[in-house]
Amino acid sequence: MSYDEDHIAMAAEYVLGTLDGEERSQVETMMGVDPEFKALVEQWERRLGELHAMVGVVEPADEVWVRIRTAVAAIAPAAAMRLPEITTPAAAPPAPVVQDIAPDNATPAPAADNVRGWRTFAYAASALAACLAAFIAVQASRPDILPAALQPKGKVETVQAPAPAQYAAVLQRDGGSPAFVMTIDTNTKAFTVRKAGPDAPPGRSYELWMVSDRFTQPRSLGVIGATDFTTKSDLASFDNNTIRSAIYAVTVEQEGGSPSGAPTVAPIYAGRPLEIVPAASVPAPAKSR
């Protein structure tokens, strides 16, 4: 069954969480009776879930908390806040519904049927753009501004180191939902694996492998931990060309990883890295006063 713009937008808004209670109930009812519509909602979950999985948690710097506490302490005390009493309101009469009444011979404007479709698509597009902006900000931002008390005094010439290239690989099976999202810093040779799929079976472990035509067999990058994020520096012995061109795969091994240093089974998830943030050029020396 093919769905019109309203149904497609409603499925997207349901995943984004921008529908009101009545509309969410309508979507859930449709999902219960229409398997094809349920599949449409699940497609949106996969599309937007990949972006969510690639955004990690960023903790504020310690000096930010110090400045917040200082600012809160400087606020003069005000009158104590009193919470309103909770009472059961009397039933209010329903609000009048105002409708445009057209003459019997009037023809509705065709564009009116699509007003809600344009509105919902605008919400979906705005939310998707916000997800992309958050993902790029997390991957590209490099805090380099100190508080005034910690800034060097006098005239100092400084040169900021160029930002390294950033790569990401979505490890999945046959184009399905991502099981792991791997990000790579080519400057530090460190990588982080974000678990986005199910846990390993009891008594087993996920192990990450680097597959390249420069190796006679896959190279182990270690066991992926049971937590949401696993960060390691096991790429230090490889050059950037090998890191960028390799395929990264995951197998299910015995608990603690393969005892032989080689995979014992075929991989179940795999992916190739893509450049998501290019390396920055070396900037000219900056003068600060």
Q: Is 32 exposed, middle or buried (0-12, 13-18, 19+ CB in 10 A)?
A: exposed
pLDDT digits (tens), the chain, 289 positions: 667 777 888 888 888 888 888 888 888 888 888 888 888 888 888 877 766 666 556 677 787 778 777 877 776 665 555 555 555 555 555 555 545 444 455 444 444 444 455 455 555 555 555 555 554 554 455 444 444 454 455 544 555 556 667 888 888 887 778 889 999 988 888 999 998 888 899 999 999 999 998 888 999 999 998 888 999 988 888 998 999 899 999 999 999 999 988 999 999 999 999 888 777 654 555 555 5
Residue type, 25: S
Q: What is the value of pTM for the model shown?
A: 0.44
DSSP assignments along 215-268, one per residue? SSSPEEEEEEPSSSEEEE-TTTTS-HHHHHH-EEEEEEEETTS-TTSS-SS--S
What confidence score (pLDDT) does residue 150 get? 43
What confidence score (pLDDT) does residue 138 get? 44
Q: Is 127 exposed, middle or buried (0-12, 13-18, 19+ CB in 10 A)?
A: middle
How many angstroms separate the CA atoms of 272 and 210, rounded?
10
Number of domains in the chain: 2
> Which residues, in sequence order, are CB contacts of 10 under 8 Å at separation 6+?
19, 23, 26, 27, 120
What confidence score (pLDDT) does residue 156 get? 47
Smallest Cα–Cα separation from 178: which of 205, 200, 197? Answer: 197
What confidence score (pLDDT) does residue 118 get? 47
Q: Is 4 helix (H, G, I), strand (E, B) or coil?
A: coil
Q: Is residue 192 part of a domain?
A: yes
Do residues 174 and 135 both lie within one domain? Answer: no
What confidence score (pLDDT) does residue 162 get? 60
Smallest Cα–Cα separation from 59: which of 130, 125, 3, 143? Answer: 143
Do residues 30 and 132 both lie within one domain? Answer: yes
Provide the CATH number for the domain around residue 267.
2.60.40
Smallest Cα–Cα separation from 135: which of 210, 50, 33? Answer: 50
What confidence score (pLDDT) does residue 231 get? 92
Do residues 132 and 195 both lie within one domain? Answer: no
What confidence score (pLDDT) does residue 35 get? 87
Q: Is residue 149 part of a domain?
A: no
Looking at 108, 143, 178, the residue that finishes a domain is 143
Query: What residues are paired with 259 via a beta bridge?
Result: none
What confidence score (pLDDT) does residue 191 get? 93
Domain extent at residue 21: 1-57+119-143
Q: Is 5 helix (H, G, I), strand (E, B) or coil?
A: helix
Contact call for residues 209 and 219 (beta carbons, < 8 A): yes
Q: Is residue 68 part of a domain?
A: no
Return the C-alpha torsion angle 249, 255, 256, 259, nearest 10: -80
Q: Is residue 237 part of a domain?
A: yes
What confidence score (pLDDT) does residue 36 get? 87
Do residues 137 and 233 both lie within one domain? Answer: no
Count of other CB atoms within 10 angstroms of residue 26: 14
What confidence score (pLDDT) does residue 257 get? 92
What confidence score (pLDDT) does residue 30 get? 86
How many angstroms separate the CA atoms of 125 and 35, rounded?
25
Contact call for residues 14 and 124 (beta carbons, < 8 A): no
* Dihedrals phi, psi of 41, to nearest 5 degrees: -60, -40
